[in-house]
Amino acid sequence: MSVTRTLAITGFLVAFLLVAVVEVLARRERSKIPTLGELVGFVMRYEVGQLPVGRIAVFGFWWWVGWHFFAR
Amino acid sequence: MEQPSEIAVRDTPTWDRPIVLIPSFVLLSAIGGLFPSFSLPANLYVLAVGGTMLWLGLSGRLPRRPAPRRLDRAAAWWLLPALTLAAVELATFIGGSTYHSPTLSLLSDPVLESYLARAALYFGWLTAFWGLVRR
């Protein structure tokens, strides 16, 4: 395995590990860090006029993720 | 004015409970796992399932969990994993998305060739999508 491949795989693993670490820190009692769910919920509240831009953007992104990994 | 809890319970559809949803998602995932990437059925299926979720999420027919009105500055901690992921993905993409510089999707391809892994990840995607619908 080449060095660059190893670095890439390690980088992705570190990123996912960081997600888990921040989520655990957020779930501690009296933590000021929002959980991932709260963060996403906050983003989804964003509206422009009557248009739920945040919801559309988050749904669109997650739909694209599914299409990208399972269909493309 | 706050809605009385009895009305809120009555407004929740009868199918909106784990004993119905989890087997449904397992079934949908078991079917979704059957279709190989780049096939027409895989495209149509993910469009149909995702489209249904999108419609449910935008229709306002389902109760939603309350979301925070503002976030503390400590929310910036989430930039750490987000920027790390973005940096690695961008670097590997610029590197050509090859064996020596694999993007996340290139790394996931061999995993997704296995039916069980594909169906399990489909289940994760669906469950997370449902979580978003209820946000």
Residues A45 and A60 in one domain: yes
Per-residue pLDDT, averaged over A12-19, amounts to 98
Interior angle at CA B85, CA B77 and CA A29, nearest 5: 30
In this structure, the answer to whether residues A39 and A72 fall within a common structural domain is yes
* A63 and A41 part of one domain: yes
What pLDDT is recorded for position B95? 95
Do A38 and A19 lie in one domain? The reply is: no
> Which of B32, B107, B133 lies nearest to residue A9, judging by beta carbons?
B107
**Mean pLDDT of the residues in chain A:** 96
Write out the H or E segment, with its range, that includes residue B52: helix B40-59
Predicted confidence at residue B11, as pLDDT, reads 67
Size of interface A-B (CB pairs under 8 A): 147
pLDDT score recorded for residue B14: 81
Q: Which domain holds residue A40?
A: 34-72
Would you state the structure tokens that stand for residue A63, as one six-digit string?
A: 């739909």
Verify that A40 and A70 share a domain, yes or no. Answer: yes
Using CA atoms, how far residue B73 sits from A20, A25, B81, in Å, is 19, 14, 16
- A12 shares its domain with A42: no
Output the pLDDT for position B15. Answer: 83
Instruction: Please check whether residues A40 and A61 belong to one and the same domain.
Output: yes
- B110 pLDDT higher than 80: yes
B9, pLDDT greater than 50: no
Query: A51 and A70 in one domain?
Result: yes
Q: What is the pLDDT of residue A72?
A: 80
Q: What is the mean pLDDT of residues A51-72?
A: 96
- Same domain for A55 and A23, yes or no, is no
> At residue B7, does pLDDT exceed 60?
no
Do the chains contact at B81 and A15, CB–CB below 8 Å? yes
Same domain, A2 and A13: yes
- Whether A52 shows a pLDDT value over 70: the answer reads yes
Q: Can you give the pLDDT at residue B29?
A: 98
- What pLDDT digit, counting tens, does each position of B36-61 carry? 998 999 999 999 999 999 999 999 88
Task: Give the pLDDT score at B50.
Answer: 97
Nearest to A15 among B46, B51, B84 (CB): B84
Are A28 and A41 in a shared domain? no
* Mean pLDDT calculated for residue range A14-27: 98
How many structural domains compose chain A? 2
Chain A contact set for B49 (CB, 8 A): 66
* pLDDT score for A43: 97
- Report in angstroms the alpha-carbon separations of A29 from A10, A39, A50, B76: 31, 17, 36, 18
Please report residues of B whose CB lies closer than 8 A to that of A19. Answer: 81
CB B46 to CB A66 under 8 A?
yes
Q: Which of B75, B88, B121 sits opposite A12 (nearest CB)?
A: B88
ipTM: 0.93
Q: What is the mean pLDDT of residues B13-35?
A: 92
Residue B4, pLDDT > 70, answer: no
**Torsion, Cα of A17, A10, B125, B40 (10° steps):** 170
Residues A3 and A28 reside in one and the same domain:
yes
Is A34 touching B (CB cutoff 8 A)? yes
For residue B1, pLDDT beyond 50 = no
Pairwise CA distance, residues B68 & A44, whole Å: 10
Instruction: Using CB atoms, pick whichever of B58, B99, B132 lies closest to residue A52.
Output: B58
A45: which DSSP letter? T
Which residue does chain A place closest to B110, by CA atoms?
Answer: A69
Residue A56 in this model has a pLDDT that exceeds 80: yes
